[in-house]
Amino acid sequence: MRANGPHITRTTLGGGFSAIVLFLLVSCGGDPAGSGFTSGTGIDFTLSCSSPFAGPGCTPTQGGGGVGVIPTCNSDETGIIDACGVAITSPIDRYDPIAMSVTGLTPNARHTIVITDPDTPPVEITPPGGLIAISDSDGAINKTTIVQNMTAGALLGDYTVTVTEVGAATAAQTLTYTLDDLSRVQCVDSGGTPKASLLNDGVDKIFAKVDKNNGSLADGTYDVYVLSDLQKPLANGGPISGTPASITITGGTGTIDLGDSSNYSIGGYDVVIDINGNAVFNQGTDLISRHNRLLPCFSVQNASGTAVQQIASDKNGNKREIFDPNANIAEIRDLQAFLTPSERSANSTPGTVDTYLVDHQNTWTTGDTLTDVSSSAFKRSPVQNDSNSEAPWILVPYTFLASLGGGANTCFDVVVDTDKDGVFTAGTDFVDNVDHLGNPTCGVRISTASCASNVSLSGTDSDGSTLSDGATTTDTAINISGTISGTPSEAYLTITAGEQSNTIALTLDGSGNYALDVPLFAGDNHITVSGIYSGTNTSCSQTITITSLTDLALFRAQLTWDGDTDMDLHLVKPGGAYYNPNVADSSTSGDCYYGNCKVGLDGAGTNSIDWGTAGVEEDDPKLDVDCISCGNGIENIWMSQINEDGQYKVYVDAFSGSETDVTVTISILGTAVAQVNCGSMQNGTSTDSCYVGYITWSGGTSGVGSFTPVGTRSSDF
């Protein structure tokens, strides 16, 4: 197999300025961020933040001397919070959105959110009647984006947020936040007017403007970097790859020409002002155009403007296309809307959008009428400018799903009506009508509750014991098997754990039986098996939860990809050599891969390799599953004991076929410290192999580990 490293393009702009496309944490060939830890009883790593977005409240600490920590998402604090989920205790910039998280509300009820400004008397800045949010079955509204004016005319001072249940006489909660005019960098046109969207016509030009405002920015010359925006944060303390340009601040302001649209590939871009000039992103010191938010500084797009990464999602923002009304599980039960467009709307006015769940269409054209099928009214939801959202919001609560799943049509699309005119407008509105492979077959499927009996599933551990709903296991993977009756045309397995989710195509035999080895994520794994029936356009699903207790690995590399091909994960020991099956190589002893490293589902068994102490199996690496043409695949390699210090290199090999989204997540002591996207990979080409990066370990099993992403691709290494 062969892979290609993080997909980077280098574009030359005027004045020798270089724009680097940064995939997640790394750019191909750039100096990436690592993350250091102390393992064992002396672990010296804490996270003060609760989401993958580096907001001003996120100040993670770490040991081991590493850099580049990105917070992981757990639970949000309540009240007014930043994008990191941390309560805001200081003024925020008038251009930055904020969010809120509230509890203690009536479950599964509609609530209005009204925001008033500091004027005398206060003026409502939300649309008449307020925003609409639906509480979950626990009576909580989780990280709902709150919209402020986000314009130069926005008043500074205290804003009030009032949450009221529809039909209630009094407000349930009242919250406040303070707005200030802080130092910032923005993307503007030649006249200084904020501008976020460029067409790829070579005509539009973009500039970055820096203003001191009420902040502490001193006059001087600073380095400027342009990085691609892929909805992931720049690591706090992480090196910034690329060759910078310079901007001079005089009298508290300065502007730099970033060139025209022909210099950039399609996509979004962030602008970073490196205040201290150390080529490292220092949160709270450096300026970033997307500080505390998802929005890139500018994006380059096709004229259509309708492409999206996802809209339909679960509570944690995972793309989900099959919802099971019988799955009463908080993380996956409600149909959420989470707008992360790869292209931006032509309507850049901040405020709200109307979100619809509509009958599926393979093709959407301007003028198509939007008719919501889930209730008598659409949902008016808060977003930022360019129709982006900071967090998922409930579109349809699970209590209402059963009525949709029992109808003649159970295949729907999610449409975000940006200009709120009740019809679809290409280039302005967004639609999710594709499956996990990008095919316009269906945006969202809602299973028919009454046909759950069509699907049976259970797990089997390495000892042959049956794992039913609610079971726990110490295995690193399990076998999922069962039967889907009624001769479905398609069958899928979706496994979700926290912020990780994957949909896998199932192969059925003539009797509707299936069996598949599935690697487990740490913690609760929600597994949904569904059969799709083309004749009736319905689906039947069954969901179980299996809890994995296996987070004992000192480090773990997890490979995921989207298609029905064969990608392979490799781990090379210190001093060892990467073995590519497509290239002659006499030795495989230094490379853990499917040919010598695959063990049983419990992670036990005898490998043909022997690392560390001779004859000791415990300090050898382990590969749980060799996923061959298994749909959206997952493979894990981990080490639970280490008796050999040095650099452990991680590779991906495209054994057969081609993929467009090959990703490796690195975890140390159960915490994901980096994610490297190798981009497009194809067997037998210059993108056959991906050098993901290396884990540097010292001190043995109770020692210190750090990870350095690389992400380069080649025919071989």
The whole-number pLDDT of residue 439 equals: 81
Mean pLDDT (the chain) is 77
Residue 538 resides in a domain = yes
- pLDDT bucket at 589, cuts 50 / 70 / 90: confident
**In which domain, by residue range, is 192 found?**
10-21+182-301
Same structural domain, 456 and 396:
no
Q: Do 706 and 35 contact (CB within 8 A), yes or no?
A: yes
For 377-406, write each residue's pLDDT tens digit: 667 776 766 666 666 778 888 888 888 877
Same structural domain, 321 and 281:
no
pLDDT score of 26 more than 90:
no
Report DSSP state, residue 452.
G
Same structural domain, 680 and 660:
yes
Please state, in angstroms and rounded to a whole number, the distance separating the CA atoms of residues 263 and 13.
7
The whole-number pLDDT of residue 295 equals: 64
Same structural domain, 679 and 561:
yes
Same structural domain, 538 and 588:
no
Residue 107 resides in a domain = no
pLDDT score of 7 more than 60:
no
Please measure the distance between the N-terminal and C-terminal CA atoms of the chain and give it in whole angstroms: 12
The whole-number pLDDT of residue 31 equals: 23
User: How many domains, in total, are found in the chain?
Assistant: 4
Q: Do 434 and 310 contact (CB within 8 A), yes or no?
A: no
Q: Read off the pLDDT of each residue in 622-648 and give the average, rounded to a whole number.
A: 80
Same structural domain, 388 and 485:
no
pLDDT score of 21 more than 90:
no
**Which of 411, 446, 481 delimits the end of a domain?**
446
The whole-number pLDDT of residue 275 equals: 95
CA dihedral 460, 461, 465, 467 (to 10 degrees): -60
pLDDT score of 239 more than 90:
no
Residue 430 resides in a domain = yes
CATH code at 609?
2.60.60
The whole-number pLDDT of residue 20 equals: 22
Residue 262 resides in a domain = yes
Q: Token digits for 104?
A: 């203690």
For 332-360, write each residue's pLDDT tens digit: 988 988 876 666 677 766 667 888 999 99
Q: Do 711 and 34 contact (CB within 8 A), yes or no?
A: no
pTM reported for the whole predicted model: 0.68
Number of residues that this document lists for the chain: 717
Q: Read off the pLDDT of each residue in 64-75 and give the average, rounded to a whole number.
A: 40
Please state, in angstroms and rounded to a whole number, the distance separating the CA atoms of residues 404 and 61.
47
Same structural domain, 507 and 561:
no
Same structural domain, 224 and 285:
yes
Same structural domain, 583 and 667:
yes
Same structural domain, 579 and 702:
yes
Please state, in angstroms and rounded to a whole number, the distance separating the CA atoms of residues 385 and 352.
9
**Which of 301, 326, 356 delimits the end of a domain?**
301
Q: Which of 36-40, 139-143, 361-365, 617-621 has the lowest mean pLDDT?
A: 36-40
For 460-517, write each residue's pLDDT tens digit: 988 889 999 999 987 777 889 999 999 999 999 998 887 677 788 888 999 999 998 8
CATH code at 246?
2.60.40.1930
Please state, in angstroms and rounded to a whole number, the distance separating the CA atoms of residues 183 and 216.
7
Which of 186, 440, 205 shows the shortest CA–CA distance to 308?
440
Give whichever of 246-260, 505-519, 589-603 has the largest mean pLDDT: 246-260
CATH code at 457?
2.60.40.10
Residue 133 resides in a domain = no
Residue 425 resides in a domain = yes
Q: Token digits for 103?
A: 């509890």
**Which of 274, 301, 328 delimits the end of a domain?**
301
Residue 524 resides in a domain = yes
Same structural domain, 386 and 253:
no
Residue 97 resides in a domain = no
Same structural domain, 402 and 521:
no
